[in-house]
Structure 1
Amino acid sequence: MSTPPSRIPTTASAGPVSYAIFQLARAHRAYAATLLRAMDLHPGQELLLMQLLDRDGQSQSELLEAVGLDHSTVSKSLRRMQEAGLLVREPAAHDRRVMLVHLTDKGRAMRKPIAALWQTLEETSARNLSEPQAQSFVQTAYAISEALSSRPLPTIES
């Protein structure tokens, strides 16, 4: 089993699981960002593309809900992706205020590269884990995610 970093801040000692999650998320995001840069994508854009590859023609609101990012981040990402020729945005016929997002041929061509990116990310991330450890990690990660999303925010004393 891997050992934790030797310099965990003393204030984080009350939350070793949370600090480990922070370190993991930071390392994972940095590696993913490196892979994404090689594809001329910014972090989060692959998530939007994956959603559109599964169901093209979603509204911006649907995409916001699907990826769980804030409005300004999604809007900025979609603008950049449109400028890169990956998608187009157009008003919906039923309501001109609703913007529908459609992939271009260039955007649809990202399916295989994105799948390869996720496979590389998975292989690298799980390379030191046995199959049972990997399965246990996935279950644990989803359990933590569920715990975080289903609890009211506590009051933190200062």
Structure 2
Amino acid sequence: MTTDQKVLGAAAVSDLPQTADDFTVSFAVFALARTHRAAAAAMLADIGLHLGQEIMLMQLDATQGQSQKSLCELLRADHSTVAKSVARLEKAGLVTKTKADYDERVSLVALTAKGVEIREKALAVWTKLEDITAAGLTESEQKQFTKLAAKLAASIDQQTWRPQPQ
């Protein structure tokens, strides 16, 4: 089965459990996130990345030599999760990790040439994923969805998110 078939098959699932009626917004977010995540994971596996690693590569390209602490904040992930991801990316030759000149306790992460190459492939995956995801929406619906998703995220953040202790 090709990645396209996996993605289209995941997106075609329409049978909802009865409890979806009780939690309509939360279940819709859950179902969309699950379907999107599965599609992204399958497509990223084709280029040798695990889900989430592409976001880190994209962020590192935007600002080379980022501290692991800043990556935690940007990615909204705890230190151990980021440290494991950086270690995997380093082992794969996609990033380097060095101590900061200004403070040896600070680890700086930067893309390697191979990391830049894989980042370009990840961007192509995200371009395709964006096309697949938004295929059935008008431009107006895309803008509306984006605004509503941001509003939902802000509501959840305001009521639940707490920074992780370092």
TM-score, normalization by structure 2: 0.84
Say yes or no: does 1:21 pair with 2:12: no
- 1:80 matched residue in structure 2: 88
Q: How does 1:89-128 map to 2 (within 5 A)?
A: 89-128=97-136
Secondary structure, in 3 states, of the residue corresponding to 1:99? strand
Q: CA RMSD in A?
A: 1.6
Partner residue, 1:50: 58
Instruction: Say whether the 8 Å CA contact 2:54–2:119 is kept in structure 1.
Output: no
Any idea what the Cα deviations from partners look like across 1:88-134, whole Å, max 9, x if unmatched? Answer: 11111111111010111111223321221111010000111111111
Task: State the Cα deviation string for residues 128-150 of structure 1 (Å, max 9, x = none).
Answer: 11111111111110010111111
Gaps of 5+ in 2: 1-12, 162-166
1:39 aligns to what SS in structure 2?
coil
Q: For residues 69 and 37 of structure 2, what CA distance do their matches in structure 1 show?
A: 24
Show structure 1 runs of 4+ deviating over 3 A: 4-7
Q: Give identity over the alignment, percent.
A: 41
CA gap of 1:130–1:87, structure 2 versus 1, over 3 A, is same
Secondary structure in 2 matching 1:110: helix
Q: Would you say 1:71 and 2:79 are equivalent positions?
A: yes
SS of the counterpart of 2:104?
coil
Partner of 1:7: 16
Give TM-score, length-normalised by structure 1.
Answer: 0.88
Give the aligned partner of residue 150 of structure 2. Answer: 142
Structure 1 unaligned runs (5+)?
154-158
